[in-house]
Amino acid sequence: MTDAEVAELDTLLARVPPPLDALDTCALDGFLCGVLLQPKTIALERWWPWVVDVDARPWPAGADPQGLASLHRLVLRRHAELDRCIETRQWFDPWVYEIDDPTLTAAQMTLPWVAGFATAMDQFPELMALEEPALMEPLAVLYAAFDPQDLEEADELLALIDTLEPPATLSEATEDLVRSVLLLADVTRPVRARPASRSGRPRHHNRRGPAA
């Protein structure tokens, strides 16, 4: 997707008719990755309501049909783009934006993306239900963006997070996101036809977001 298309999607999400409260672009990106990493394919009609509203309320009848059609088209474009990257183990550019707040760490700047990912894990728990040790480290890398108090019931995950070295820069933090997604995919969507290809490095958007 081009920067113009991402900007259009950002605008459409912000204009979702009330009382709906849609995901923003960062959270949407993480949410779509969480949906795509499930061990069984999640049908569009199951995950779409969470895109347009945090409580999965239906789109108001007759409200902005053109906006809904454009939103649907662009979200599916990103879904397909991420699906290809995950399936072929290619690096991708996560929608993580630099926040102009010197008090935030690099990991904390990824929190909107990770929050979207966590939403998918909450609504579609099949991945988290797998008893697979290889899932723990990439999940710990992702959930390290949260305040430890928000993970009080995840003792094993917290213990592993405590052993991780936090990323020093936003670039490192976004690389950690992509690497974790691909490692999770190795468990839930194994590739058998050919070895994983991870040429290139992910980039982060330079657009500055609002201070948190």
Distances (CA, A) of 74 to 7, 67, 131: 11, 11, 35
Q: Which residues of 46-59 are buried (b: 16+ CB within 10 A; e: fewer)?
A: ebbbbbbbeeeeeb
| Eight-state DSSP code of residue 55 | T
Question: What pLDDT digit, counting tens, does each position of 125-161 carry?
Answer: 999 999 999 999 999 999 999 988 888 777 888 899 9
Which position has the token pair 């993306």? 113
Tens digits of per-residue pLDDT, 110-124? 999 999 999 999 999
Output 152 or 162, whichever has higher pLDDT.
Answer: 162
The pTM is what?
0.89
Question: What fold, for 3-203?
Answer: Four Helix Bundle (Hemerythrin (Met), subunit A) (1.20.120)
